[in-house]
Amino acid sequence: MTATVTIFHNVVWSRHKGAVFTALYNLSASGTIRYAMVQIADTETERLGFSDVDYSFHRYPMRKLFDGCYDDVPTWRMIARLTSEVLKTKSELVVLPGYHRPEYWAMLAACIVTRKRRAVFCDSTALDRPRRLMTSIPKRIFFSLCDGYFGFGERSREYLMSLGAKRERIFVPCQAAALPRSFLPERALDERLAARRDAAPVLLYVGRLSEEKGIGTLLDAFVRVREALPDATLRIVGTGVLHDALDERVIALGLSDAVRFVGSQQDEPLSREYFGATCLVLPSHSEPWGLVVNEALSHGCPAVVSDRCGCMPELIVEGETGCSFPAGDIEALARTLIDAIARFGDAQRTARACMSRIARFDPRSAAVNIERGCVTMLGEPRDGCTASRASGIGR
């Protein structure tokens, strides 16, 4: 007997979720679950200007509830529409997009009233969202009323458990990047080696230009890197509210000849940035995961990340696929970057380690674990196809 699961997601902008949902839809053709995908809006305020909404990554049937920006929809209207969607769906299981907005609480209440099973996506970690009494109590209540949870990484699992979630009901799909259509894994090593042949040290930042990303820490540390390695350069890919302030800081630090703001990049231009960089740097003070690390490793580019990045336990093997440092520590970051440039001088060995590490973090593996979680929550016996898929992927 076929069961139906409705998955709500906040914005179409998320290419990586489009790739995962596409893989999930493809899996459903040979399983006992059918998935109804509902995207709430096109994008959200913090994504505006960073990259366009690309529907080509969403190759599955979906409905979109609102055009434009999520944040432009009045809260009362969002609550009314999402509550209505949950009430009228015939699905046995509803996957909620989060727990931090009033409309998600309304959706949870609608699930309870109609006696539908419910799960929730959670990408937060204890380091990204430090526990506070006034916020942890509502979260505990929300999670206690759910049948299951989809977290991303061990830190997300630990965070959920600290708020009362049962380990056996937490499913970790793994974070998977949506790589450009032009990206060919079988050619990636050769392209990496060609781009790094006899190249000077190049540090790369990719992401929003916002306070929580720790770019100021990176600039201060880069001053010390330049003292040790005068030919080192820093390329900053992205847009955001801090652009002008960061540009002024670069001038004040005397780094104008070594730091370049590249602007927003996607697809092949972004691939060229990854291939050409000695390493990616993600110095965030708050970072639930850090998908740019997935992207970098796929291109054979190691990553230097702060200890706040959620992906650190899964993706960073010290000295092999990257290095870590305490968030906000300028001296530690400078030392780590200088050390990383020396450690990752063997481009071929480093690229092979990065590509090997990231190989299992692909959209299909993420989709298999979402499917496994849905099967468990629905309480259905696993058919041969579902059981064999689930058995090969750990929690």
Q: 131-140 burial, b for 16+ CB within 10 Å, e for fewer?
A: eeeeeeeebe
For CATH 3.40.50.2000, list the domain ranges present in the chain: 3-176+362-391, 185-358
- What pTM value is reported for the model? 0.92
Provide the terminal-to-terminal Cα distance of the chain, rounded to the nearest Å.
26
pLDDT < 50 stretches in the chain:
380-395
pLDDT at 315: 97
Q: How many residues appear in the chain?
A: 395
Residue 243 corresponds to which amino acid? H
Please say whether the dihedral angle defined by the alpha carbons of residues 37, 106, 118 and 310, taken in this order, is positive or negative: positive
pLDDT at 51: 74
What architecture is domain 3-176+362-391? Answer: 3-Layer(aba) Sandwich (3.40)
Q: Say if residues 321 and 354 touch (Cβ distance below 8 Å).
A: yes
pLDDT at 1: 64
Q: Which residues contact 318 (CB under 8 A, 6 or more apart)?
A: 324
pLDDT at 133: 54
pLDDT at 380: 44
pLDDT at 180: 87
Residue 131 corresponds to which amino acid? R
Fold of 185-358: Rossmann fold (3.40.50)
